[in-house]
Amino acid sequence: MDEIQQPTKPVRKSRRVTSDSAAPAADSATSTTSATETPAAKKTTRARAKTAEGSTAAQASSTETNSTGSKSNEPKAAESAGQGSERNFEGEERSERNRNGEGEERQERSDRNRNRNRNRNRNQNNSSDNNSNDSGDSESADSARDTQTRDNDRGNERGERDFNDERGNRNRNRNRNRDRYGRNRDRRANDRDEVEPEISPDDVLVPVAGILDVLDNYAFVRTSGYLPGPNDVYVSLGQVKKYNLRKGDAVVGAIRQPREGEGAGRQKFNAIVRIDSINGLTVEQAGARVEFGKLTPLYPQSRLRLETEPNKLSTRIIDLVSPIGKGQRGLIVSPPKAGKTLVLQAIANSITTNNPEVHLMVVLVDERPEEVTDMQRTVKGEVIASTFDRPAEDHTTVAELAIERAKRLVELGHDVVVLLDSITRLGRAYNLSAPASGRILSGGVDSSALYPPKRFFGAARNIEDGGSLTILATALVETGSKMDEVIFEEFKGTGNMELRLSRALADKRIFPAVDVNASGTRREEMLMSPDETKIVWKLRRALAGLEQQQALELVLSRLKETSSNVEFLMQVQKSMPVPSGNDAE
C-alpha cells in the first residue's frame, strides 16, 4: 500500500554527552575560572565540577539504557539533558565567579576602560591632527605647539628662576657667614695688635734701627736699607697708633732675643718690643709733630749756591741761567747721552760743599748698576737706588719710602734736597705696577699711573716757618718713545725751574751741553740781588739773538777767563752797558 510520505524535518544530530565529552568541558571551565578566581574559589569550583561530571555520567548511562525503548525520543532527550547540564554548570560557575571575583574583575574592567579611553583620546587627537593637516589648517596646530612650547619654556624658566633664587640664597648666606667670620678675624687681629709685648727680666734685648715702612695691615722697620730684607723687624698697628708713627720715621728700638726652644716655632720676623727714639726725638716729643700736609708752602727765597771752583763750569753756568733755591721744584730735561748724570753729580757735590746743613738724598730708579756704584763713590750723601734688573714694585717702593723719609725730616725743620734720576722711569714703573684703571692715554700710559709721580714731584716746597724740600728730577726726551713724551708733557708745567740739555751740543763735545736760552727759573729775582738781576737780564737779552751753539760758546769762553761768577758779571756790565729805560725794576 502506497502511503504518501510526508516530508520530515531534518533532525539535528544531538551531541551525545558522555564522560569523555564532559571532562573537557569541565576542564575548560575550570581553566577559565582558575585564571580569575582566588585559591578558595578554585577549590570549590573543582569540587562542583567533579559532582557535575558524576551526574553527567549517570545521565548518559540512563540515556543509553532507555534508547532502545524510545528511539524516536532519543535525540530530543539527549539534547535536553546535555543542554540542561551545561546550563546548570554554567550558571553555577557564573554565580561562583560573580561572588568570588567580582571585585577584581570590576577593578580590571575599570583599568581597561581607562586605558581604552586614554588610547581613544590619543587616537582622536592624532586623527584630529591628521585631519587638520590634511585640511590645510596648519596654523591652529602650529599655534597649539607654540603654546605648548611656550608653556614648557615658562616652566623651565620658572624652574631655573627657582633654582637660581635658591642658589643665590645659599651664596648670600655663605657670604654673610664669611663676612661675619672676616669681621671676627679682623677684630681678633686688632685685639692682638693692641696687646703690648711683655718683657720679662730674663729676656735679652737686641737693639735695632731702621726706616719704618707702614703698609695696609702691618708695618716693618727696614734694617737693611729702603727695600724689604730678611732682617726686617715687625711692628704692629697698635704700636703705630700708640706712638704716632709715620711712614719714613727713623725708629730706634729693641727686639727680644728668642728664648730656648722658641727657635723652631717663632715667627719669620722678630717683633719690636721697645721703641727708644723716633727721628732722634723721644716718644713724647715725636707725638707733637706737625703733619707735612698742614705746612704752608712758599716760593724759594734762600739760594743754594753751586759755584765751588773756577774750573767747575757746569755749576757756574747753572747759577747764571737757572739759579736754584731751597724748596725749588726743578726739571732737568735731557735727551740720552747729553751728560745729565755728570750734571747731577756736580750739583750734588756742590750742595754738600757749600751747604753742609742740607740733607742730600740721591734717588736712582731703574738705573744701571755701574752708575749706582759711581754715584755712591762720588757723592757725599745718601744714595738710594733700585737697579733696572729689579721688578717695578721695587722701584716704586724705593721712591715712596725715600720721599716719605724726606717729609719726616722737613716736619722737624730740616732742609732736604732730593735728586731723582729719573722721573720718566718712575712713571714707567708706576705704569707697570699700578692697577689698571681702564683709561689709557696716548703712548699706552694709564691715567692712574701719573698721579704717584706727580705726588712725589709736588712734595717740593719751601715751608713758611722753617724747613724746605728741594726736588731736582731728570726727564728724558727725544727717546723715540711716545710714553716718554706723554710723561714729560704731564710734568712740563709743574716745576718752577727748568734746565735743558742739548743733544746737538753734546754730539759736538761741547760740555756742559746747556741750552742757555731755553733754561730758566720762575721768580728768579727772589733769589738774586737787584744788581745781579739787572746784569743777568742784560746778558739774556744779548744771548737771545744768538744761536744755541754760539750763545753757549760765548758764555763758556767768558767763564774760563774769570775765576768767579761775580767777576764774570762785572765784565758783562762793563762790556755791555744797560740802555736807559731798560733797567730792571
Q: Is 328 annotated as a binding residue?
A: yes
SS3 67: coil
Determine the pLDDT at residue 580: 47
544 pLDDT above the threshold of 60:
yes
Write out the DSSP string of 190-209: HHHHHSPPP--TTPPEEEEE
Q: Which residues of 2-21 are buried (b: 16+ CB within 10 A; e: fewer)?
A: eeeeeeeeeeeebebbbeee
Amino acid identity, position 93: E
Q: Which residue from 64, 32, 65, 63 is spatially nearest to 49, judged by alpha carbons?
A: 32
pLDDT in tens, 233-248: 999 999 999 999 999 9
Q: Check the annotation: does 326 bind a ligand.
A: yes
Scan for cell 714694585, then name that residue: 393
Stretch 431-451: mean pLDDT: 86
Per-chain mean pLDDT for the chain? 79
Tell whether 454 is in a known binding site.
no
- Is 340 labelled as part of a ligand binding site? yes
DSSP letter assigned to residue 257: P
> Is 329 a known ligand-binding residue?
yes
Question: Mean pLDDT across the stretch 338-358?
Answer: 95
CA distance 321 to 9: 159
Residue 99, annotated as binding a ligand = no
- Cβ proximity of 100 and 40 under 8 Å: yes
CA distances from 436 to 431, 441, 447, 516 (A): 8, 12, 9, 40
42 is in an annotated binding site: no
pLDDT tens per residue across span 184-211: 555 555 545 555 667 767 678 889 999 9
Q: Is the pLDDT assigned to residue 369 strictly greater than 70? A: yes
Which tens digit of pLDDT belongs to each residue from 452-472? 999 999 999 999 988 999 999
The band of 17, judged by pLDDT with boundaries at 50, 70 and 90, is very low
Helix axes 74-135, 19-34, angle to 10 degrees: 30
Rounded to the nearest 5°, which phi and psi values hold at 173?
-65, -40
Q: Helix or strand or coil: residue 418? A: strand
State the pLDDT at residue 268: 78
| Annotated binding-site residue? 91 | no
Domains within the chain, CATH numbers bracketed: 205-258+267-287 (2.40.50.140), 297-575 (3.40.50.300)
Confirm whether residue 444 is marked as ligand binding: no
- Would you say residue 8 has pLDDT above 90? no
> Mean pLDDT throughout 152-162?
65
pLDDT band at 219 (very low <50, low <70, confident <90, very high): very high
Task: Count the helix, strand and coil residues of the chain and give each as a percent rounded to the nearest 5.
Answer: 55, 15, 30
Which residue matches cell numbers 740721591?
A: 362
Tens-digit pLDDT profile for residues 516-538: 999 999 999 999 999 999 999 99
Collapsing DSSP states into helix, strand and coil, what is residue 386?
A: strand
CA–CA dist 499, 402 (Å, integer) = 24
Mean pLDDT confidence for 555-563: 94
* pTM of the predicted protein model: 0.67
**For position 287, what pLDDT does the model report?**
86
Is the separation of the CB atoms in 340 and 395 below 8 Å? Answer: no
pLDDT at 74 over 50: no
pLDDT digits (tens, 9 = 90+) for 309-337: 999 999 999 999 999 999 999 999 999 99
Residues 137 and 147: their CA atoms lie apart, in Å, by 16
Q: pLDDT at residue 35 above 90? A: no
- Decide if pLDDT at 5 tops 60: no
Rounded distance between C-alpha atoms, residue 301 and residue 461, angstroms: 11
